[in-house]
Amino acid sequence: MNQNTISGDVIGVTLRQLGATSIREIHSMMHIASFTLEDGVEVVYVFNITKGNQYYLQRMRPYPLPWGVFADTAQITRFIKEDIAKFRNAAHSSNFNRFITMAENVNMLVGQLEELFLNSNVDSNEFHDFDQQLDHLLALATQLRSHADPL
């Protein structure tokens, strides 16, 4: 049995104890862990075990977001445990579905921006205007955060 299989098994047991509804393993290198929360919200993580026995984690649902590299099984399971707890709490918000839609729209924007950048020669002035609008949205998000009460 190789180290990746052992590490994957350790994480799998821990995630099942946290309430994972399914865990799929693909060639002992990639793992997909799904959680269905009380309100029917599905949270899905994908992590790869690298050759250096580190873990690259992404959340795929309710919206995709890469989280980066974790050094060991304890770090990745601790992160997922805390993330699931945050989603359980946030799912009770009256703005939860709206937030999910907004996060999906931001991800679509990233895809459209890449498509535009890689395939089009955008007018410099129009690109500058777009950049200013994006800066405005980022500043607004920072402002919302500073005025928001913690959960």
Task: Kindly write down the DSSP assignment for every residue of 125-142, as one continuous string.
Answer: HHHHHHHHHHHHHHHHHH
HSE-up of residue 132 (Cα within 13 Å, Cβ side): 6
Whether residue 125 is predicted with pLDDT greater than 80 in this model: the reply is: yes
Do 8 and 36 belong together in one domain? Answer: yes
Do 31 and 65 belong together in one domain? Answer: yes
Do 66 and 11 belong together in one domain? Answer: yes
Position 14 scores a pLDDT of 82
Q: Hey, is 32 helix, strand or coil?
A: strand
Do 80 and 126 belong together in one domain? Answer: no
Q: Supply the mean pLDDT for the chain.
A: 88
Distances (CA, A) of 57 to 47, 54, 64: 4, 10, 11
Position 5 scores a pLDDT of 52
Position 51 scores a pLDDT of 77
From 71, 90, 109, the end of a domain falls on: 90
Position 11 scores a pLDDT of 76
Do 74 and 126 belong together in one domain? Answer: no
Q: Which residue range forms the structural domain that includes residue 25?
A: 3-90
- This prediction has a pTM of 0.82
Query: Both tokens of residue 79?
Result: 């992160």
Do 128 and 59 belong together in one domain? Answer: no
Do 114 and 68 belong together in one domain? Answer: no
